[in-house]
Structure 1
């Protein structure tokens, strides 16, 4: 009998071990009732009731994995990514075999750009269910994110070959083939998917993108025409088609497409604004303006159209018209229309903020907040005012308040991150941007901001990943693709840089960006003929583009091929005889050829055509300096100003000559007189502000400099030279946070500019960031370019080197 008893005991032990949670230990009737009610509420989209019932279910049974899983789904529906992650993690801790919870966690991890962690979750799912298509699709995305293209194809292809036509499988497999350079295979997969899903927009869009990348714009146009037939209500598609027609110089066809787009919904302000923005981007200002005015004239008093027209006036340098239009809107809006009045006041606040008139901007924002303390746009504006005024901590409070009230307000994450960057807290900036990306993983602004913060932290792997995502999601975002090429070039990967720049040329042949980037790469490699050929191709497509002409002149001059450069200038002057820029280029070429009389004549022509343009005056002053004719030149331009005190060219040249002779008081006097007598003379106001700041011995002088710089900024908002001056004034006032914030904007647009790098290096040194300061000063002095302050930059580098040597000797 004893063996039988032992056997029974073993069986009982095995049963207990295999099933540790008996029915009595599972959720009781009350817990199950709450769970059932929570699930019903979730299915009816009543998330508050769902959450309450599910939490009560867990109170009754703390190990209720299914309740935690459903709570995770509720949090996802409410766009509460972190809560969803926590609930789902708890569900999988209680029940590691909960396939759906593991799968949702993998999706969240992919949205957070964590493919390695996602793959760990997916392996659990696929081990239990090898044929789980949802898990395979998420795994395919993870493999592509890790650049394991061959592995993704190997996993997905068999399902496709067996007849599986799930839309996401098609998109992933096609993307993998395209990345692998297998264009024909990728297109074949897409066409099979379209046969199975003929009205699926995503499949058609990917096919259009493939044709575009291959340079077959006609095929891309045909696919987009089909997309518009499928979904005529979405204005983004006709705008994309119009963009392609613009690339192939079929502008009339683009106009017809956009006209039909308006006719689909003539009373829809969003459609009219989108089309107007397209024309504005293409510098068709009058057409864009007329579209918006027609909308207002047709009886549509929508505040959106008024705001869009106001924005157009701002972008085209007419701030007063913008203000007048909005103030008229306030007068026409009833006091009871609180929302519309708030929108207009917010717009006015933004205008004054963009003009750096912080008190006026803050007053309008506060006006809105008095009526509605929770108005998100007013809080954002006030935060931006605080940030610009050098109080990033106060700005952070406003931005955090915005995000607490509206977690999916993406602009809040961008502004909060920017405030952290200004406060030199890049780790916090990154966290803020990652939180935004959990809400909107493909948002362009968030991805680009994240890329820049990763660069600051020297996390090059993640920086590259952000740019890749941008390029994949937005094939026409050539700024992102150019940044990706620049990124590779900075890492000396010339082959990868060339690939990105070449793709820009294929996608957007009439954009100067790709041609210029590719030409600069060729020039860097010593391939002058290839650089010139690339630029000439661009000029054949976009004859009006000044940047291409300037770049080609630079290439010829760098190769000492002055005759070629001169021939280019003469050709341009035949078609653009009244263009200041063409005469300026000719003057630069003659200067290099040491034909100073011809250079002077050309530059005087440029200055006459655009009297307030500083480059013409500066170059004209340089001609006199190269001839060692400072005294004669000063006498000449002093006499010119006596004859006509409002002569802008004489002002700029004489001021620059005095600066070169370090006679700063005389230069200041010249600029002061000009600013007082010539309305809107922004270039003189900017030079005056810079000299006042550079020679200041009191706070009052610095405040005066800031006043002149701000006035210049109102006339030319966003101009790099004025932003540089504003940054220098803040540095001189000891406001390094504001100064660095401005220089970081400049360095993005002009990473090699010697003056910007010099000024930023000086500010960084003062802020204690010696390593980055050294990098900027080395960039500033790398070339032989002369600039005001070069001697100081070189002295600072020697000082840093000497201190570094002493520290090294001391430590050893």
Structure 2
């Protein structure tokens, strides 16, 4: 172990990432499932929180695990456990706990930084840039700053110096007076050998925090690499005086002492290192160096064995971005004569530090061995980087397709057709074109082949599928009937006929065809599944369950049957079972199968779980990034997760893929409006209208877009054009009402809305009129209109909801109560209506508010507003402990809601936790959001100061 390597090693200690040095201060707070649990779980949590605040991390972890033994779904427990495990160095378990907190509904602002730290500690740096939860958009500025510093450290480790400095600059723009934004720059500058800039950053940090041990250590690190050893030693001394447990300063000073020949001083630092950080591998390495210099080879060998004993158990992926540890272990194994193990670490190290002295050791290892596998490995690496290598495209026809080389198959068949126009050539050509994404051209070739030779049943079967996918059911039936006439014993062709009949609306014919397919081939699964689908359609749920159970008994991994089980469970209202079946289907899906992932994402969206929906959509996006259905599902999940920026980008890709299909472009435009991308919506609608100028839904939406673009004249012209072309439709008049309202012409708008409602009396036209009348005469005309409508349409839930909301806004709580109760007779499972009713009952001081709030949470267990209502109702009812548990959970799910934070503060203040209460009130009052209890919050703030 040469002095050169030792010096480099000690200097490189300054270049570590700051991932685990970021200080976070999350308030940790519980899910609905735990509310019915023994109160002992909540007490365990509260005790753990106190222990955590007192730095008793081990004790906190024990109490949190005790709580989880009672209820594993307590959100605050999982969150605090993740943080505690992270501080305790158990980063894998920390990731598990933090991920579970995300699944249970924690607001991502609470978890992104500690989860990012856990990822970086495992070498999963890239996930911080790839996973959606680390998107800066929508995060509070303080969390953005911490996440940016985390990104800076990750970028530096990945070798992206420009990206690292960009992240530091963005963090500094948020708060330039925070020392951390200057300290983060120093290791990046050192790595780029920009010592002047590094020194300037160190001085700025010290000016902000003159008594910071970290700042003095960083100043010393700059002096160390610059060769100013006197200043280096002075800075390290100051850092250790300020914090005797500063490991990095101890390591660096011990190394410097070794370089200076001050072995007794180095020995003292190493001994202290072993005391304060007994598992620090660099201390063992320094021990080995000292033993070697003292000519004590046995002690040196023991120290090296201690070192590899510390690093070897750590998965190499955890330390791939910790080059110092990679090199240390490589050097130690080399020193112990374990060349193969040394190579494993030095090869990974070499990728990021190719000019270090350790390169010579790796070269010696390569020279000492002879292996042809290396040549093979290089070749495989090259081929992975060049997947379009021409040598791989030598197979013909269907063999090429079976290998996935569809472009080559197409070229070969086109060449073959130049010599002979054979239908079998066109069949292969058509199939290859379809599989390479050119469906329209492929269909044309298949139609030509089948027309010329109806015996080309492969072409016919493919055509049936294409016709079904494009909605041409009549054509599909005709071809399928031709196929079964040719081959009356072919069960697959009868299955195709059943599918075609089903899409054509001939359910009896579909059932007969499927049953014939099963009769011909009892081992064919597709017609059995299709019969189960018919059963579900006809609400014959028991029959469907029997069919599907029989299929899964024979093949438990049949994803088609598994998905239909999910469909059946969904129809029966069994949400947990539905999710279980969908997840199982998705887990078993192939590398190109996206259907089950899309279904899982849609299921999560329908059940108010945007995070899991986004993860499912992201997974299928990796399989088929240009598939339109995937793009649309991904965009919907992004929107539900609050990532409008990402949704805009995804929808831009969808617009390109959808080409000029008016229906698809209309759908994309509507999503663009949800993403607040008005120009993007306009572009999609222009494409839709360019192919179908009179497409009414697109014309109507374009009118709305023009209003949003502050172009009322264009909007009015388009609305009048719609009226002219559709004089008996309400939509044109409704749009004219929208234009008038945008111009502030309320009487004109009312006339237009009345006209629309006269032409087409519907909920839609009524609600437009209702909303406008709500601003007239205290809202009385609107209420009268809705009440009259409800007499004739007692099942109209939307109007009943609008009426109830109007009563509540007007302070007419008795009428609001009656209206919400009427609404719940129409929609008894309406969680929002239950929550609103509970709030009304609270205003009326009705003790029944608790029961209604509990029902609301049962319907929407992840909704922070519903949880808050229940918590507040429990508090009003004197159930303080339960209220605290609920309100902590609600606050954790929606930390940006000042009303929730105020409610939590009230309970915290009453239970004596005034510091926490003050923090919650400060966050609520400085949020910039107007909330109902702001005056009460200000009064309470004075009381807890």
User: Would you call these one fold, judging by a TM-score over 0.5?
Assistant: no
For CA contacts below 8 A with separation 6 or more, give which structure has more relative contact order. Answer: 2
TM-score (norm 1): 0.43
Larger-Rg structure: 2
